[in-house]
Structure 1
Amino acid sequence: MKIHRPHLLKHSFNVVNRMRQTVSVAGLSAFRVAKGEKPDARLLKDTFEQLGTTYIKIGQFIASTPSLFPREYVEAFQDCLDQTTPLSYTYIEQVLTDELAVDGQTLSDKFAFINEKPLASASIAQVHAARLHNGDEVVLKVQKPEVETIMQTDLGVLHGVTKIVELLMPSMRFASIAPIIDEIRLRMLAETDFISEAQNIRDFQQFLSVSGNTKVVAPEVYDDLTTKRVLTMSQLHGVSMIDETAMRQYCDDPAQVMADTLNTWFASLMFCNSFHADLHAGNLMLLTDGRIGFLDFGIVGKLKAESWRACMGMMQALQDNNYQAMAQHMIDMEMTHGRSNVDAQDLANDLERMMKTIMAEDITFTSGVPFNSKEQADELNQMMLEIVEVGKRHGIHFPRDFALLTKQLLYFDRFMRTLAPDMDMFSDQRVQILGQTDTSQPSASALNMS
């Protein structure tokens, strides 16, 4: 295979430059420690945010994977921000030109208009609105320059610096770092491949089609304008689903919209290749035509059917305050190295003590604080951390994507307190949790969502 020397030199320069930046930031953090600052989770979080793309994503991975990381680090990284200063449109235009303007064509041949002001800017990509020559309104998700090179370089050196981190921060010492780094690599590199995200969208759309669901929609992908670094999708217009007043412009019953959202997501757990694992308020929209829009499929999860059913049973038992059943479902979730060694009654007692403490402190349940407040987000994270911590003490090891699924369930719970305060996720007749009455087969009503 012929290697182009200029490209190789540029790549090598970028790798060296990235390593220089990393050493510089790490050096400043080491200087802070030398001056007497405690080398704790907060310092590591500050350092990661300075290092940018890769380390912000690692911080978010730490925050969403409490089964692997010490509690103080999970808490420190909960507010690891992924909003970055927008890049100049000149850079974005160059990426679009490199990726889409082929065979002598120009961007003007592809697009009638591209808004130079971004809709959003995060560590991996920047989003711009555009219009095609046929009048279609689209959004362009454009990967930032050298993101993959930066990530590969950063992940490569992480193996080397891990030993130093373990020496400075003993609580970050793990039984085996290699599987964790491999997991981080898989998740992060998947986010840099927009062809993979496009496939996630198509999988979801196929699920909607097969299940006859016409109440929910995902953006249409324009395959001829999509590459690994550029994702072109139809632009959806609507309002946030945490703004009940705005929603009533396009629907009669916001609670029913919430039920339709839940039914769709629960069904996708069993019948879609993956489930959307990041349905926060920014990724859900009530469209002007009354349909529900699921956005941004960069983060998806996958869970074995038996683990999912046990998780649903655990959440139902939690809702019913049945801690013996909750403990048994945790054991049945295949989360233990030796399930016969787990004392179910002892685990149930610990779960009951934990939940009573949480409920006693949980003033936000009835305070009327809006869902998107930081207090309720912190409460959500604390509840998940407590569940995981109790499990750890009993030798329970959670499936890889359990944290993603649990956080989404808890997110929906808080979402409903604002949008549909009278709705109960587990007992409302409008909400069909698959396998609730028969864990081997989906209920007919659960698929009858159109």
Structure 2
Amino acid sequence: MKIHRPHLLKHTFNVVNRVRQTASIAGLSALRVAKGEKPDAKLLKETFEQLGTTYIKIGQFIASTPSLFPREYVEAFQDFLDQTTPLSYDYIERVLMAELAMDGQTLSDKFAHIEKKPLASASIAQVHTARLHNGDEVVLKVQKPGVETIMQTDLGVLHAVTKLLELLMPSMRFASIAPIIDEIRLRMLAETDFIAEAQNIRDFQQFLTVSGNTRVVGPEVYDELTTRRVLTMSRLYGVSMVDESAMRQYCDDPAQVMADTLNTWFASLMLCNSFHADLHAGNLMLLTDGRIGFLDFGIVGKLKAESWRACMGMMQALQDNDYQMMAHHMIDMEMTNMRNQVDEVALAKDLQSMMQSIMAEDKAFTSGIPFNTKEQADDLNKMMLEIVDVGKRHGIHFPRDFALLTKQLLYFDRFMRTLAPDMDMFSDKRVAMLGQADTTLIA
């Protein structure tokens, strides 16, 4: 016990210090509101940035999910997708020395050059470019200090607050906020192990090779220069896939690029050990050679093939207004606690009643016009909340990785509005959700 006591005391001190820091920052923001400042998206964004890692990740989710959050908040958090306040290079150098410079070696023995100015500074890590002695251009993903303790503490506090809110305001329970916080905690903590992320990248590379996919690439990992806190990868050059004008320098048809991205991701659901569950605007790029780059494999999910088939069946049934089949697929998806006790007929009737009510209120939804206005995005948000409400009444729950899959589909919503506003991912002929992947899987 004595051996572990100093570590325990240090951890306890860090936790207490983080709670104090969070309370101080939140208190200053509350004081700004008390003095008359408007509690708007700008203030929330500034507060989240001061609070750091955990809240920046939440801000990224807001920025990448325009169908769920008001436009002013989506726009305010855009900066969180690519850049946060950078750390000094002195800290980065100390981590690199501790992780990579063994047996009296120096960083000069490992790298010909390391750029001191960061390429990007995200919530969990900071990225610097470097060059190896053999001429290879690489990027170094270096973990920020105390990330795991900060996230554990922040998410513990958030969990307690949401539980209290659900107790004081029973009407909030429909949103299942506390379980979402639990889910975020599990996923974000998994991001702190770069050895696991390196394996996720290797799995994706193998999937691309086996499926013969030459349109998409991921970075190559340098295993000898990778640890839990440092990930060294080949550098990819390109432009953001939400900048259509920049993309047209390297492609003729941004909509086809979007289709290729969707086809690759849908195929990975069935043919890869895991699927990328965090493809927001900062993690996808069109490379200068015209290929598509998938970046940052810290958050991945796994979904059974039969669950994905059921998901697609449910979406198709929704488009066909076949609510009996929609209910059937929801049950097949293993979204129920006790599937044999679910009344499929009653579920179908409730789904039909819910959808007809929404369609009656919003004619744009029934006409199939893309959700490219704030009003239509609000209607999509309403539809999703209604589905959650109906599902809960019938004992339906959403499996953990299905929630990740749904979140990623919402991320794609943003790309499609920019690159292919007329594309419907569930019916466009350029998008193959099941057919090709199914055949390969069976073979």
TM-score class, shorter-chain normalisation, is 0.7 to 0.9
Give, in whole Å, the separation in 2 of the partners of 1:64 and 1:412: 9
Cα 1:366–1:258, aligned 2, differ >3 Å: closer, same or farther?
Answer: closer
Cα 1:314–1:166, aligned 2, differ >3 Å: closer, same or farther?
Answer: closer
Amino acid at match of 2:434: L
Q: Indicate the residue corresponding to 1:354 in structure 2.
A: 358
Give, in whole Å, the separation in 1 of the partners of 2:101 and 2:322: 60
Give, in whole Å, the separation in 2 of the partners of 1:336 and 1:3: 47
Q: Give the superposition deviation at 1:196.
A: 1.3
Q: Give the superposition deviation at 1:187.
A: 1.2
Q: 1:339 is matched with which residue: 337, 342, 354?
A: 342
Identity %: 80
Give, in whole Å, the separation in 2 of the partners of 1:55 and 1:249: 35
List per-residue Cα deviations over 1:34-74 (Å, max 9, x = no partner).
9999x9x9999987665432355467789999xxxxx999x
List per-residue Cα deviations over 1:247-281 (Å, max 9, x = no partner).
34333443333322222111100111111122233
Give, in whole Å, the separation in 2 of the partners of 1:50 and 1:190: 23
8 Å contact 1:364–1:376 — kept in the other structure? no
Question: Which structure 2 residues correspond to residues 316-327 of structure 1 after superposition, within 5 A?
Answer: 316-327=316-327
**Which moved further from structure 2: 269-278 or 352-361?**
352-361
Q: Give the superposition deviation at 1:308.
A: 1.4
Give, in whole Å, the separation in 1 of the partners of 2:165 and 2:424: 45
List per-residue Cα deviations over 1:285-331 (Å, max 9, x = no partner).
22222221111112222222222112112222334444443343233
Amino acid at match of 1:443: T
Q: Give the superposition deviation at 1:356.
A: 4.8
RMSD: 4.5
Q: Indicate the residue corresponding to 2:300 in structure 1.
A: 300
8 Å contact 2:317–2:326 — kept in the other structure? yes
Q: Indicate the residue corresponding to 1:119 in structure 2.
A: 119
Give, in whole Å, the separation in 2 of the partners of 1:59 and 1:434: 32
Q: Give the superposition deviation at 1:195.
A: 1.2
Cα 1:296–1:349, aligned 2, differ >3 Å: closer, same or farther?
Answer: same
Q: 2:438 is matched with which residue: 426, 434, 442?
A: 442
Q: Indicate the residue corresponding to 1:215 in structure 2.
A: 215
8 Å contact 1:215–1:260 — kept in the other structure? yes
Mapped pair 1:400 → 2:397: no
Cα 1:17–1:421, aligned 2, differ >3 Å: closer, same or farther?
Answer: closer
Give, in whole Å, the separation in 2 of the partners of 1:246 and 1:295: 19
Give, in whole Å, the separation in 1 of the partners of 2:77 and 2:254: 31
Give, in whole Å, the separation in 1 of the partners of 2:253 and 2:36: 57
Give, in whole Å, the separation in 2 of the partners of 1:76 and 1:345: 36
Amino acid at match of 1:339: V
Count of residue correspondences: 433
8 Å contact 1:84–1:121 — kept in the other structure? yes
Cα 1:357–1:49, aligned 2, differ >3 Å: closer, same or farther?
Answer: farther
Q: Secondary structure at the match of 1:415?
A: helix
List per-residue Cα deviations over 1:147-200 (Å, max 9, x = no partner).
123233445666776765566666566999996665443212101111111111
Q: Indicate the residue corresponding to 2:259 in structure 1.
A: 259
List per-residue Cα deviations over 1:16-51 (Å, max 9, x = no partner).
4224324444666888999999x9x99999876654
Question: Which structure 2 residues correspond to residues 173-252 of structure 1 after superposition, within 5 A?
Answer: 183-252=183-252
Q: Give the superposition deviation at 1:235.
A: 0.9
Q: Secondary structure at the match of 1:442?
A: helix
Q: Indicate the residue corresponding to 2:409 in structure 1.
A: 409
8 Å contact 1:413–1:425 — kept in the other structure? no
Q: Secondary structure at the match of 1:126?
A: strand
Q: Give the superposition deviation at 1:363.
A: 11
Unaligned runs of 5+ in 2: none
Unaligned runs of 5+ in 1: 66-70
8 Å contact 1:309–1:435 — kept in the other structure? no
**Which moved further from structure 2: 249-258 or 131-140?**
249-258
Q: Secondary structure at the match of 1:312?
A: helix
Q: Secondary structure at the match of 2:356?
A: helix
Give, in whole Å, the separation in 2 of the partners of 1:162 and 1:388: 18
Cα 1:348–1:33, aligned 2, differ >3 Å: closer, same or farther?
Answer: same
**Which moved further from structure 2: 302-311 or 140-149?**
302-311
8 Å contact 1:380–1:411 — kept in the other structure? no
